[in-house]
Amino acid sequence: MSLLNAATAVRQNAYAPYSRFKVGAALRTASGAIHVGCNVENVAYPEGTCAEAGAIAAMVAAGETRIAEILVIADSPAPVPPCGGCRQKIAEFAPQDAAVTLCTTDGQILYTTVADLLPGTFTRSHMDRA
Tell me if 90 sits within 8 A of 52, measured CB to CB. Answer: yes
- Is 43 marked as binding a ligand? yes
- Is 114 marked as binding a ligand? no
- Is 69 marked as binding a ligand? no
Torsion of CA 76, 77, 80, 84, to 10 degrees: -100
- 47 is a catalytic site residue: no
What is the C-alpha separation between 122 and 102, in angstroms, rounded?
23
- Is 83 marked as binding a ligand? yes
Q: Which of 52, 64, 69, 92 is catalytic?
A: 52
What is the C-alpha separation between 73 and 11, in angstroms, rounded?
8
- Is 103 marked as binding a ligand? no
What is the C-alpha separation between 89 and 86, in angstroms, rounded?
5
- Is 13 marked as binding a ligand? no
Known binding-site positions: 39-45, 50, 83, 86
The catalytic site residues sit at 52
Known binding-site positions for Zn(2+): 50, 83, 86
